[in-house]
Amino acid sequence: MSGPSIGVAVIGAGMAGRAHAAAYRAAGMVDGPELPDVRLVAVADLNARQAVIAARRFGYLRAERDWESVAVAPDIDVVSVVVANHLHREIVEGLLAEGKHVLCEKPLANTVAEAESMAAAARSAPGQQAMVGFSYRRTPAVALARQMVADGAIGTVRQVRAQYLQDWLADEKSPLTWRLDKERAGSGALGDVGAHIVDAVEFVTGQQVAGVSGLLETFVKQRPMPGERAAGTSIGGTAGVGYGPVTVDDAAVFFGRTEGGALATFEATRFATGRKNGMGIEVNGSAGSFFFDFESMNELHVYDGTVPARDAGFRRILVTEPDHPYLSGWWPPGHVLGYEHTFTHEVADFLSDIGSDRDPSPSFREGLQVQRVLDAVERSSAAESRWTPIPTS
């Protein structure tokens, strides 16, 4: 890869931090506009040992303990923020104030007010790009579905079904983590995985969600504290084990209507026993339908409603051809891609946007829109599933 060099840092050395590091290293393999040479300069994490290990494994020049050091470093141009949700606003706004380009993981923030503040900070940073990390948009089959809707291949969109099903919390003995604490996570399944399907529906259909009615449920109200054994302090359950309250939702179900009039249903849960990463979307139009399941991420199933009934049926498209989205620079047809490639495509698009001085998508404005939908679902659930419009300003 030729061209100018760009210094990159990742704040957060956990699973998502590893995905971002690998993506920056692989971005040059994506076919398209010339990208700058990437230098992995620094990784920062409050866990100093984890940062040092990540620096060694992924080839960063150094490990940092805090985000402030990254913000003021003159050899860093682009920063990925992949830490707990409650830390996003302070870090992102601090980075923007120091002139960095920022890629922030989803959901953008814990609250609408925080997301509004971050979107305003991005607008006030001319020459700097800010993007939200909704990586599932960069799945080639999902990008192809968007193209098909835009091209009118299924006619007028009438109904949408979206789900994100996981089971990693189905075990009631799983420990209490930051993702189960509203102060740090903002919400549970709603924001963790529900945000992805809200964005996917808006991305694929090209229509924003205009209003919702929802219901949230917490099945397990308290969980064992991680690594703690405090005899006599249990709140309930196993004697001798310290327990703490779960303050977020375990599952969310809601329906809505898009600005174009389509009906949409959503389900987000971390309690779907047996389902590991069942992110899926189905769109029904006046002239056809399609459905997608991330656990078969290289496939899109399409129904053409214009052919005679004798010949009709869903057909499977293996989305690995060179003229499919993102595929021209990868492998021969039939050589499938994986989860990590969604991050690689995301980073390649972001670096291209920076090099072209082009506003990225999803922008912080789009991240704010998703935050407003999540907030409306919470308010609806608290008001006995009352219909709740999404603010547009």
| 43 within domain boundaries | yes
pLDDT digits (tens, 9 = 90+) for 109-131: 999 999 999 999 999 998 999 99
58, 23 Cβ separation under 8 angstroms = no
| DSSP SS3 for 158 | strand
Rounded to 5°, angle at Cα 160 from 154 and 162: 130
Domain boundary among 70, 104, 136: 136
- Considering the domain architecture, whether residues 296 and 244 belong to the same structural domain is answered as yes
CATH of the domain at 106: 3.40.50.720
209, 261 Cβ separation under 8 angstroms = no
| 392 within domain boundaries | no
The number of residues in the chain equals: 393
- Considering the domain architecture, whether residues 212 and 312 belong to the same structural domain is answered as yes
The pLDDT of 57-80, averaged and rounded, is 96
Strands, sheet with 209-217, edge to edge from the N-terminal-most edge strand: 315-318, 299-304, 288-293, 278-285, 157-165, 263-269, 251-258, 209-217, 388-389
Confidence at 228, pLDDT banded by 50, 70, 90: low
What integer pLDDT is reported at residue 329 of this predicted model?
A: 87
- Considering the domain architecture, whether residues 155 and 131 belong to the same structural domain is answered as no
- Considering the domain architecture, whether residues 122 and 150 belong to the same structural domain is answered as no
Side-chain-side CA neighbours of residue 300 (13 Å):
24
- Considering the domain architecture, whether residues 114 and 169 belong to the same structural domain is answered as no
What integer pLDDT is reported at residue 198 of this predicted model?
A: 98
Domain boundary among 86, 110, 136: 136
pLDDT digits (tens, 9 = 90+) for 12-28: 999 999 999 999 999 98
77 pLDDT exceeds 80? Answer: yes
DSSP states of 110-179 as a string?
A: SSHHHHHHHHHHHHT-TT--EEEE-GGGGSHHHHHHHHHHHTTTT-SEEEEEEEEE--TT-STTSPP-GG
Domain count, the chain: 2
| 393 within domain boundaries | no
DSSP states of 15-26 as a string?
A: HHHHHHHHHHHH
- Considering the domain architecture, whether residues 169 and 219 belong to the same structural domain is answered as yes
pLDDT digits (tens, 9 = 90+) for 154-197: 999 999 999 999 999 999 999 999 999 999 999 999 999 999 99
Please, what is the average pLDDT of the chain? 94
- Considering the domain architecture, whether residues 226 and 298 belong to the same structural domain is answered as yes
* Euclidean distance between CA atoms 119 and 134, whole angstroms: 16
Phi-psi region of 81 (alpha: psi -120 to 50; beta: other; left: phi over 0): beta
Residue with structure tokens 């990208």?
35
Q: What is the pTM of this model?
A: 0.94
* Euclidean distance between CA atoms 355 and 360, whole angstroms: 11
pLDDT digits (tens, 9 = 90+) for 372-390: 999 999 999 999 999 999 9
CATH of the domain at 232: 3.30.360.10
| 388 within domain boundaries | no
| 223 within domain boundaries | yes
- Per DSSP, what are the bridge partners of residue 31? none
33 pLDDT exceeds 80? Answer: no
For residue 33, give both structure tokens.
């506009």
Range of the domain at 18: 5-136
pLDDT digits (tens, 9 = 90+) for 273-307: 999 999 999 999 999 999 999 999 999 999 999 99
